[in-house]
Amino acid sequence: MPDDKTAPATPRTSFAALRQPGFRAFLATYFLAMMADNIEHVISYWMAYQKFHSAALGGFAVVSHWLPFLVFSVPAGALADRFDPRRLNQIGMLLFMTASLGWGYFFVTDTLQMWQAMVLLVIHGCAGVFWQTSSQILIHDIVTRDVLPSAVRLNATARTLGVLVGPAVGGAIMLTLGPKYGIFLNACFYLPVILWMWKAPYGPKFRKGAPAPQRAVRGWADIRQTLRDIADRPLLLSMILLAGAASFFIGNSYQAQMPNFAQDLGRGDPGVAYSALLAADAAGALTAGFLLERWNLLKPSPRSAVLLAMGWCLSLGGFAMVHIYPLALFLLFCAGICELSYNSMTQTIVQLNAPAEIRGRVIGVFNMCAMGMRTFSGITVGLVGTIAGVHWSLGLSALVMLCVLLLLRRRLTVTHA
């Protein structure tokens, strides 16, 4: 059985990955794309609602965003193993631009129909699969192995920052240019990624040593084969299970239920207090990213990842049960700290331990679980919430997830005994 590794000894340097010029350019362009992704959500969702007033279309928007990760992450990873991930990244950007320009055309001509909106939402979701999977492969090429934990953590922080900043920038664009023309400006934010990836000196052609043997891309059959390949690597399986369970039982579904929580906390009207609830966990995640990088804390390890995920469950479970606004805000902030920490840690461990010849496929399986499983969190929290109430549905989901983590921690203890 191959030995699983956690992380190499990381230099005691703050923001170590930023000292490598290639990663600085990668991170800046990644942030722009993440911001543009969320700007498009703000503009397109608002315009589609004004046109159709359809809650069903809003639900389809969530499914179309995450379902492609569930279905296509492993095939996309297989493509990244066989072809240049820079080109796959550019394909993702072109799909994002197609979606933005498509929205813009239908907005300007006032010809948007329901089926056209659904097609554009699917295109946007597929773009994310190409982009996220190839980006994670490129991180491994851009930075050295000893600073990979720093790179993954900073990438997760940039993702969170894009999620936080995107809606604010989107709102500003709508106020200044208007949604019809603002969506065209948004398409331009994807261009820096395309241009940088064109000549960036990373990818298969620039890797040192003998190239890893290439496998044929076999579509969904790669999922079964990849699981067989990592069956004797318990650390990889444990981290993939952790990511999948967290997405399945909770994911980010509580954000969609925030109006209900805000109403029960006496902050149901739009305003600063409600916005603070929406932004609290993102603020916690940004704080965690800065503190962990500034003092180079928490060396990636499976036990630490499980404990941090437990902290996330306890924070969200507490948030679901409290009815005191300041305490609810604090618990969401703590949840954000724990979420970024365990997410970046699990991804780092997977990247460090994935065999080079199937790294894309392994990362694809990880993304399938970590992001694709969010498709079902609307059932565990949202649908159950219509029966038992969102407080109980989120609390019970956090409790079930906590039990899964306790079993996983026991399994890790036995494996490493």
Within 10 A of 204 (CB to CB), how many other CB atoms are there?
17
- Please tell me the distance from the alpha carbon of residue 322 to that of residue 264, in angstroms, as a whole number: 10
pLDDT above 60 (res 3): no
388 close to 396: Cβ distance less than 8 angstroms: yes
Prediction pTM value: 0.86
What pLDDT, in 10s, does the model give residues 358-414?
899 999 999 999 999 988 887 777 767 778 888 998 999 999 999 999 999 998 876
| pLDDT (0 to 100) of residue 1 | 44
Torsion angle of C-alpha atoms 387, 390, 393, 399, degrees rounded to 10 = -160
Residue spans of the domains in the chain: they are 17-205, 219-417
Q: Is the dihedral of CA 121, 122, 125, 127 positive or negative?
A: negative
- What are the pLDDT digits (tens) for 218-244? 666 778 888 888 888 989 999 999 999
Residue 338: what pLDDT?
96
Of 237, 249, 273, 248, residue with least CA distance to 2? 237
pLDDT at 113: 96
Q: What is the pLDDT of residue 244?
A: 95
Check whether 7 has a pLDDT greater than 60: no
The reply to whether 219-417 shares the fold of 17-205 is: yes
Closest CA to 279 of 168, 149, 132, 125: 168
| 369 three-state secondary structure | helix
Contacts of 259 (CB under 8 A, 6+ apart): 268, 274
Collect all residues with Cβ–Cβ distance below 8 Å to 340 and sequence separation of at least 6: 153, 156, 157, 160, 284, 285, 286, 288, 289
For the domain bounded by 219-417, which CATH number is listed? 1.20.1250.20
User: How many DSSP H helices and E strands does the chain contain?
Assistant: 18, 0
User: Looking at this protein, which amino acid is placed at residue 117?
Assistant: A
Residue 249 pLDDT grade (very low, low, confident, very high; cuts 50, 70, 90): very high
CA distance 281 to 329: 8
Higher pLDDT, 267 or 141: 141
Confidence of residue 216 (pLDDT cuts 50, 70, 90): low
Mean pLDDT (the chain, rounded): 88
Name which of 403, 396, 287, 298 is nearest 346 in CA terms. 298
DSSP string, 208-274: -SSPPPP----TTHHHHHHHHHTTT-HHHHHHHHHHHHHHHHTTTHHHHTHHHHHHHTT--SSSHHH
| pLDDT of 26 higher than 80 | yes
CB burial readout 142-169, b (16+ within 10 A) else e: bbeeebbbbbbbbbbbbbbbbbbbbbeb
The CATH number, out of the four listed (1.20.1250.20, 1.10.3720.10, 3.40.50.2300, 3.40.50.150), of the domain defined by the range 17-205: 1.20.1250.20
Confidence of residue 57 (pLDDT cuts 50, 70, 90): confident
pLDDT at 253: 79
